[in-house]
Amino acid sequence: MIAIFKKELWSYFGNWSAWIIIAAFSLIVTLFLFFFDNDSNIFEIGMASLQSYFVLVPWLLMFIIPALSMKTFAEEQQTGTLNWLFSQPLKVSDLVLGKFLSVWVVGILCLIPSLIYLYTVYVLGVPAGNIDLGMTFGSYIGLIILIAAFSGVGILASSLSQNQIMAYLLGVFMCFIMYFGIEQLASYKLLGGADFILQNVGFYQHFLGFTRGLIDFKDVAYFVFIIGVTLVLSNHFINKKK
């Protein structure tokens, strides 16, 4: 697993793809938070808070994480190297976990430049330091866990697909449905009392708790369950390709 993890990390950073993705992600976030005229602009909000950052980032991650994960298995199958990996003395579960961890780590690295935003908001507050650090750090933890969930979904999409384009489109679709689609469907209140259950099936409500600074065991357990399910299913579909 460690060997696969290192190999995947090198494939991201060795050809500049990870650097480009991190730079593009940071540039887009910076433009929305400080320059573009929109509801996420920190100067227009007039509050020493990164709340708009934590609202914006999940939407970008829906596109970034599938872009990172699409090649994990789809490319291996497309180029024929998946059969070579099957011939090596490693378990499929190690293969899945190694690729999952590499995507998760690169996704987390996308958040590192945001520490500049945190420092900026901290300094610009009146008085300086007038920011809810508990809510901020809780939101960061929520984002790290959400990236893991998106990574698991992306790995599953790649294991189901024959090529990278299909893996990317399927990954974006599945991430969108899990984060926003289920939440919106539940908001129509078509199922009566079952709407509450449906609402808690999706990512949004569980991530929302973290953005309020609340690290609830139920929310953590939910994401751990989702990650586990996606990885088990990925393992199953890769085994079927042997």
Task: Give 205-236 pLDDT, tens digit per residue.
Answer: 999 999 888 888 999 999 999 999 999 999 99
Residues 6+ apart with CB under 8 A from 148: 104, 107, 223, 227
Q: Are 37 and 72 in contact (CB under 8 A)?
A: no
The type of residue at 66 is P
Omega before 89 within 30 of 0, i.e. cis? no
Q: Which domain holds residue 3?
A: 1-241
Query: How far apart are alpha carbons 112 and 106 in whole angstroms?
Result: 10
Count how many domains the chain has.
1
- Taking the C-alpha atoms of residue 167 and residue 72, their distance in angstroms, rounded to an integer, is 9
Average pLDDT for residues 58-87, to the nearest whole number? 88
Instruction: Tell me the CA end-to-end span of the chain in Å, nearest whole number.
Output: 18
pLDDT value of position 210:
93
Q: Is the pLDDT of residue 60 over 90?
A: yes
pLDDT higher than threshold 90 for residue 27: yes
pLDDT at residue 213, as a whole number = 84
Neighbours of 21 (CB within 10 A): 19
Q: How many Å is the Cα radius of gyration of the chain?
A: 19
How does pLDDT run across 137-146, given as a tens digit for each residue? 999 999 999 9
Which residue type is seen at 53? Y
Average pLDDT for residues 85-112, to the nearest whole number? 92
Give the pLDDT mean for 180-203.
Answer: 81
pLDDT of residue 179: 94
pLDDT band (50, 70, 90) for residue 48: confident
Burial bucket for residue 146 (CB in 10 Å: 0-12, 13-18, 19+): buried
Long-range contacts of 163-168 (CB under 8 A, 24+ apart): 163/74, 163/77, 163/78, 164/70, 164/71, 164/74, 164/75, 164/78, 165/70, 166/74, 167/66, 167/69, 167/70, 167/71, 167/73, 167/74, 168/66, 168/67, 168/70
Which amino acid type is present at position 55? V
pTM of the model: 0.93
Q: pLDDT value at position 90?
A: 83
Q: For 106-135, what is each residue's pLDDT tens digit?
A: 999 999 999 998 888 888 777 776 788 888
For every residue of 78-140, DSSP letters joined together read HHTHHHHHHTSS--HHHHHHHHHHHHHHHHHHTTTTHHHHHHHHHHHSSSTT-S-HHHHHHHH
Out of 46-55, 142-151, 182-191, least confident range: 182-191
Per-residue pLDDT, averaged over 191-209, amounts to 83
